[in-house]
Amino acid sequence: MEALKLAGREEPSQHTIVKINSPKGPVLIGEGHCTIIAGPCAVENRDDYLMIAKALQEMGVHILRGGAFKPRTSPYSFMGLGLEGLKILAEARELTGLPVVTEVMDTRDIDLICNYADILQVGSRNMQNFRLLQEVGQIEKPVILKRGLSSTIEEWLLAAEYILSSGNQKLILCERGIRTFENYTRNTVDIGAVSVIKSLSHLPVIVDPSHATGRWEIVKPVAKAAVVAGADGLMVEVHPYPERALSDGKQSLTPNNFSRLWAEVKKLADVEGKRY
Amino acid sequence: MEALKLAGREEPSQHTIVKINSPKGPVLIGEGHCTIIAGPCAVENRDDYLMIAKALQEMGVHILRGGAFKPRTSPYSFMGLGLEGLKILAEARELTGLPVVTEVMDTRDIDLICNYADILQVGSRNMQNFRLLQEVGQIEKPVILKRGLSSTIEEWLLAAEYILSSGNQKLILCERGIRTFENYTRNTVDIGAVSVIKSLSHLPVIVDPSHATGRWEIVKPVAKAAVVAGADGLMVEVHPYPERALSDGKQSLTPNNFSRLWAEVKKLADVEGKRY
Amino acid sequence: MEALKLAGREEPSQHTIVKINSPKGPVLIGEGHCTIIAGPCAVENRDDYLMIAKALQEMGVHILRGGAFKPRTSPYSFMGLGLEGLKILAEARELTGLPVVTEVMDTRDIDLICNYADILQVGSRNMQNFRLLQEVGQIEKPVILKRGLSSTIEEWLLAAEYILSSGNQKLILCERGIRTFENYTRNTVDIGAVSVIKSLSHLPVIVDPSHATGRWEIVKPVAKAAVVAGADGLMVEVHPYPERALSDGKQSLTPNNFSRLWAEVKKLADVEGKRY
Amino acid sequence: MEALKLAGREEPSQHTIVKINSPKGPVLIGEGHCTIIAGPCAVENRDDYLMIAKALQEMGVHILRGGAFKPRTSPYSFMGLGLEGLKILAEARELTGLPVVTEVMDTRDIDLICNYADILQVGSRNMQNFRLLQEVGQIEKPVILKRGLSSTIEEWLLAAEYILSSGNQKLILCERGIRTFENYTRNTVDIGAVSVIKSLSHLPVIVDPSHATGRWEIVKPVAKAAVVAGADGLMVEVHPYPERALSDGKQSLTPNNFSRLWAEVKKLADVEGKRY
C-alpha cells in the first residue's frame, strides 16, 4: 500500500471525530459513536419528504439523507429535482432540526449545494473524479466519500488523501458494497474493509447496507454486521412507500422495518459501547 | 434462481439442526445456536495438536478442526500428514471428548476418513467436484460444504442439492469468502450471503472468517459480524505458534486472541438469543 | 509469481510440441501449429455424433471432442451417457481416423477413459482437484488442462506443475474464459493470458471460445483473436442442431457456421505462419 | 439489456463512421477502417513530444495522443502539464498535420481543451461522470468514451446514450480492459465485448491494449487480437524512453516495438479488408 500522508494514523488511539453543525446542535461521527443517516434515495416531492423526515427524527435518526442531483445509469431515468430538491431538504432541516446530506456530482454545483446542505456526499461513480475531490477539499462542510464500485481500499484511501490534502479534514468514508460476480445481491458489502480502514486510518467509516445489498430484506442483517465489525454509523434508505419509489425502491425499508432495524442496532451498539 | 427441490425451505420456520455425535454427547449446529469449530489449519505434529485441542476444549469450543489431507496450490508445499494426521485427530477426540472435522479431497479417501473423523469437510476447490459430492451424499456422517471461491449462491445451493439428493441430510454450509479484485484481504467475505442462505434454505450456515480475510487481525470483527448477520456458527483457525505454522500462519489466531474473540462473540450470541 | 520448476521455460525458443497418436497418424499441438478440436459439448446419441464427427473430419478438423461424463451445476441435468458415450467416441475415432478427447472428473474413471480416448481433459471445475491432477500425471496419454473459472495464471501454471511433476509431460493448457462481473457473455476470455502463458512456459496453449463467450455469434471473432494472440489451437463446440442440444446449445455453432470460422481462421494462420 | 434509443442500430448494415478534421484532411474511424492512435501517456515536455509525434507520423499513425490533464490515483503523482501540455499538442498538430486527442476530466475545462485538441477523451474513471457526458454531448468535436474499469457493456452503452442524446453523434467507444481478480496483467481486455458492441451498436469501437495489459510485452498480441475481433482501430502508448516515463512506462512501447506491431497489424487489416 502506498504511503498515506494524511489519511493514515500515527498511533492506534488516533481517531478523527467529525462534528456536523445543525439547528439542534452538533452531531458527531467517529470512534465510539453509532450515527444513523436515513431517508429516501431521492427527494421526490415535498409532502413525502417532510413526512418521512419527521418520522425519522421521531425515531431518533441523527442525520437526514435525500438526493437532489441523482446519478443514473440511463439518461432517461428520473434525475432528481435539483434546486427544488435542495429547498425541500432545507425545509426538512428546519422542521426537524437535523442536519441533511445530499450528493454533489459536478464541481459547478458545490456552492449551490453548500447553501442548503450540511454534508456533501461524493458518490461511488465519482470516487475518482479527482477535480471534484479537490474542490470539496476546499469547502468548510463535512464530506462523505463513498467507495467506488470497484475501488480497492488503497485507491479509496488515496481518494481521501485528495480531499485531505486540499484542506478539508472533515471527512467520512462510506463502504457501500463492491461489484463482484455474485448478482443475487446488487453488490457485495466488504465487511472486512470496515476494520481494515479502522486499522489503517484515523477517519470515521460508515456503511450503507441499502446499496450494498439492493434488497430490503437483507439490509437489517448487514446493518447489524457493520456495527459490530467496527463501523461508526450507517446510512440507510427509508421510503414511506418503497413500491412506488422513483429509484431504489427494492432496497428501501418502510419506516416500520427501519424502526425494527434501529432497535436491534441499538442493542448491539450498547454491547460495543457506542453512543447513539 | 433454479428451483431447489431439497435445499430450499417450504416455510420460514423450517430449519435443519444437524446433530453431531461425539464422546461427550451430541453437538448441534443450526438455527438458534452459535457453534464454534476451531483448530489449526493442518495437523502438523502430535504434541502441538493435542496441546491446542486441550486448550480449545477448556475455552468451550464445540468442535475441533485440523487438516490431514491439505489441498495446496503448489505441488511442492506441505500436504498434510495423511493417515498419521487422522490418527492424531482421533487421539485429540478421545482426549477432549469433542468431535473432529477434517477435509476430504478424493472419493477414494472417504471410507478411511470416516473411520477417524466425525464430520467431513468438502473444501472450496472441490465445491463442484460432483462425484465427491455424490459420494459424501451417501455416508452417515455430517458434511460441511464450503462455498467455492467464485461460486454464486445459486451454484452453492445446487452443490448442496447434489449431497441432499444422494441421501445425506446432515449438511452444513460454510461461507469462507469469495474472490474479488480487492487483495488487501485474501478473500472478501460475503456477509450478505449468510442471510440470503438463511432466507432461501433450511440448512445451517456457518462462516470461516480466517480464510475469508487471510489476516488474523481482521478475524475478530468479521467473526462478530457473521454471528449477528445470522450465521449459526464459526470455523476459526487457531494455532499455538502462528509464526511457525506450516500453512495459513498469517490468518491464525493465537489461543489468547481466540479467547478474546470468543468472549466478544458470546456477548453478541446472548443479544441474538443463540445458545453456545 | 512462484518459481515454476517444470512448467517454466529456460529460453524463449523452448517449446513443447505434444504428439497425439491416432489411427491416421500423429496430430501435433504446440508452437507453429493451429490445431482444431471440435465437436458437440456432450455425446448425446450414436447417430448424431457419428454424423457430426464425419462432417468435421471432412472439414479438416484435427481432433474430435465430446463429453461422456459431464459436470453439471444441477444434479437434475443431463450428465452424459457415461460408458455408452465412450463407446460412441471410440466408434467415431474408427470411422474418421481422428483422435478423440473427453473429460475425466474422478480418479476412479481414469483407467476406463484411457481405454477409449486419446486425450483426457481436466475441466475448469477440477483445475484444483489435486488428486485428479496427480493421477492424470501418471498416465501415458496427453492431458488438456482447462483454466479454472477464477484461477489466476499463477494457479493455473502450478496446477500444470502438479501434472508435470507426477511424470506426464504431454500437457496442453486451455484458456476458456474467466468469471467477471460482466454477464452479457457467459465468461470473459482472457486473451492476454494466452501470450502471458507463451512467454512464461514452454507448454502449448489453446483457447475454447465457446465456453468463453457462451454465445455462438461471438465465437468466431474470439476464435480469430485467439489465433493471432498466440494460441496453438482452438477447441470449438459444434452441434448438428444447436437448438435441441442437451447442453450448451446457445454457444454451439452449426456445421455451416463452423465452416466459415475455420475458413477465416486458416487465413490468419497463414499470416502467422502456423500449420494446420 | 435496457433499450438503446440512439446507440443501438436498426439493421446490421448501419455503421457510424466518425470524421475527424485535421490540417492534412479528414481521418475516419469506423467499420472498414483500422485507425491508429498513438503517443505517450502524458505530454511530459516539448522536445520529447515533438520528436515522438514526428516519428509516429512517419510510421503512418493517423492520430496523436497525449495527456495534458492526467487522472492519477494519488494526489502526489505527476498530473500533467495542463495548458502548457495543450499548447505542445497543438504544436505537434501543426508539425505533423495529424489530429490530436487528449483527456478532459472536468466540465469547466471543455472549452479550453476544444481550443487545442481535435478529439476529447472521457477516461475510464469518468465513464459515469454524467455531467461531463452531457457537456461533451454538446460540443462539435468527436469524443472517445472509454469503458469504465468495472462497467458492464450495458452501462457503457447507456453512458454513450448520454452523449448521443445531448446532441453529439461523433462518438467512438474504446475498450481498455476491465478489472478482474487476475493481476498478472493490469486489467483484463474484454475481447468479446468488441464484437458484442459491433453487433448491438452502430458506433465505432477501438481498443487500447496498453492500459488493458499494463505490460508492453503483451501489447502486440492483444492489439492484433483486437483488429481481427472487429475493432475499428487501436490506441497505443508509445514513448521514446519508456524507462523514464512519468506515467505508465511499463506499458509503453518504444518506437521500434511500435513499428513492429504496426507492421503485423497491417497484415491482419489486409486479411480483414480494413483500410489504414
**E strand or H helix that includes residue A15:** none
Q: Can you give the pLDDT at residue B161?
A: 98
Residues of A contacting chain D (CB within 8 angstroms): 2, 5, 71-76, 105-108, 125-126, 128-131, 134, 149-150, 155, 158, 161-162, 165-166, 179
What is the per-residue burial (b if ≥16 Cβ within 10 Å, else e) of A3-32?
ebebbbbeeeeeebebebebeeeebbbbbe
Q: What is the dihedral of CA D144, D149, D154, D156, to 10 degrees?
A: -20
**For residues A162-181, average pLDDT:** 98
Contact B158 C73 (CB under 8 A): yes
Q: Can you give the pLDDT at residue C115?
A: 97
Residues of B contacting chain A (CB within 8 angstroms): 1, 150, 152-154, 178, 180-185, 188-196, 199, 212-213, 217-218, 221-222, 224-230, 267-268, 271
User: Would you say residue A1 has pLDDT above 90?
Assistant: no
pLDDT averaged over chain D? Answer: 96
Contact A180 C181 (CB under 8 A): yes
Give the whole-angstrom CA distance, residue B137 versus residue C38: 35
Task: Output the DSSP codes for chain C.
Answer: ----SSSB-SSTT----EEE--TT--EEESTTB-EEEEE-SB---HHHHHHHHHHHHHTT-SEEE-BSS---SSTTS----THHHHHHHHHHHHHH---EEEE---GGGHHHHHTT-SEEEE-GGGTT-HHHHHHHTTSSS-EEEEPPTT--HHHHHHHHHHHHHTT---EEEEE--B--S--SSSSB-BHHHHHHHHHHBSS-EEE-HHHHHS-HHHHHHHHHHHHHTT-SEEEEEB-SSGGG-SS-GGGPBPHHHHHHHHHHHHHHHHHHT-B-
Please name the residue of chain C whose CA is at the shortest distance from the CA of residue B127.
Answer: C125
The partner residue sitting opposite D224, judged by closest CB among C181, C184, C229, is C229
How far A46 CA lies from chain D's nearest CA (Å)?
Answer: 25
User: Would you say residue C23 has pLDDT above 90?
Assistant: no
Nearest-CA neighbor of B83 among B117, B54, B107, B56? B117
**For residues A237-241, average pLDDT:** 95
Q: Can you give the pLDDT at residue C24?
A: 84
Please name the residue of chain B whose CA is at the shortest distance from the CA of residue D186.
Answer: B181
Instruction: Determine what percent of chain A is predicted with pLDDT higher than 70.
Output: 100
Contact C76 B5 (CB under 8 A): yes
**For residues A161-181, average pLDDT:** 98
Q: What is the dihedral of CA A68, A71, A77, A80, to 10 degrees?
A: 0
Instruction: Determine what percent of chain D is predicted with pLDDT higher than 70.
Output: 100
Contact A106 D105 (CB under 8 A): no
Where does the pLDDT of residue C226 fall: very low under 50, low under 70, confident under 90, or very high at 90 and above?
very high
User: Would you say residue A3 has pLDDT above 90?
Assistant: no
Contact B128 C131 (CB under 8 A): no
Predicted TM-score (pTM) of this structure: 0.97
Q: Which chains pack against B, by 3+ Cβ pairs within 8 A?
A: A, C, D
Q: Can you give the pLDDT at residue C272?
A: 98
How far C117 CA lies from chain D's nearest CA (Å)?
Answer: 32
How far B149 CA lies from chain D's nearest CA (Å)?
Answer: 11
**For residues C262-273, average pLDDT:** 98
User: Would you say residue A24 has pLDDT above 90?
Assistant: no
Q: Which residues of C touch D227 (CB under 8 A)?
A: 228
Q: Can you give the pLDDT at residue A132?
A: 98
Where does the pLDDT of residue C12 fall: very low under 50, low under 70, confident under 90, or very high at 90 and above?
confident
Contact B73 C149 (CB under 8 A): no
How far D179 CA lies from chain B's nearest CA (Å)?
Answer: 7
HEC assignment per residue over C242-259: HHHCCCCHHHCECHHHHH
How far D145 CA lies from chain A's nearest CA (Å)?
Answer: 15
Q: Which residues of chain B have pLDDT under 70?
A: none
ipTM of model over 0.95: yes
The single-letter DSSP state of residue D12 is T
Q: Which residues of C touch A150 (CB under 8 A)?
A: 181
Q: Which residues of B touch A230 (CB under 8 A)?
A: 221
User: Would you say residue A99 has pLDDT above 90?
Assistant: yes
**For residues D149-162, average pLDDT:** 98
Contact B75 C179 (CB under 8 A): no
User: Would you say residue D2 has pLDDT above 90?
Assistant: no
Q: Which chains pack against C, by 3+ Cβ pairs within 8 A?
A: A, B, D
Mutate to test the interface with B, among A182, A190, A274 (most CBs of B within 10 A): A182
Mutate to test the interface with A, among B2, B216, B228 (most CBs of A within 10 A): B228
How far C10 CA lies from chain A's nearest CA (Å)?
Answer: 33
Strands D100-103 and D119-122: parallel
User: For chain C, first and last CA: distance in Å?
Assistant: 34
Q: Do residues A183 and A155 make contact, with C-beta atoms less than 8 angstroms apart?
A: no
What are B19-69's pLDDT values in tens digits?
999 888 899 999 999 999 999 999 999 999 999 999 999 999 999 999 999
HEC assignment per residue over A227-273: HHCCCCEEEEEECCCHHHCCCCHHHCECHHHHHHHHHHHHHHHHHHC
User: Would you say residue A17 has pLDDT above 90?
Assistant: yes
Contact A150 C181 (CB under 8 A): yes
User: Would you say residue D15 has pLDDT above 90?
Assistant: yes
Is the model more confident about C2 or about A173? A173
Instruction: Tell me which amino acid residue C45 is.
Output: N
User: Would you say residue C248 has pLDDT above 90?
Assistant: no
**For residues A10-30, average pLDDT:** 93
Q: Which residues of A touch B182 (CB under 8 A)?
A: 152-153, 178, 190, 193
**For residues C58-74, average pLDDT:** 97
Instruction: Tell me which amino acid residue C71 is.
Output: P
Contact C179 A181 (CB under 8 A): yes
Q: Which residues of D touch B150 (CB under 8 A)?
A: 181
Contact C179 A179 (CB under 8 A): no
User: Would you say residue A248 has pLDDT above 90?
Assistant: no
User: Would you say residue D24 has pLDDT above 90?
Assistant: no
Instruction: Determine what percent of chain C is predicted with pLDDT higher than 90.
Output: 94
What's chain B's Rg over C-alpha atoms?
A: 17
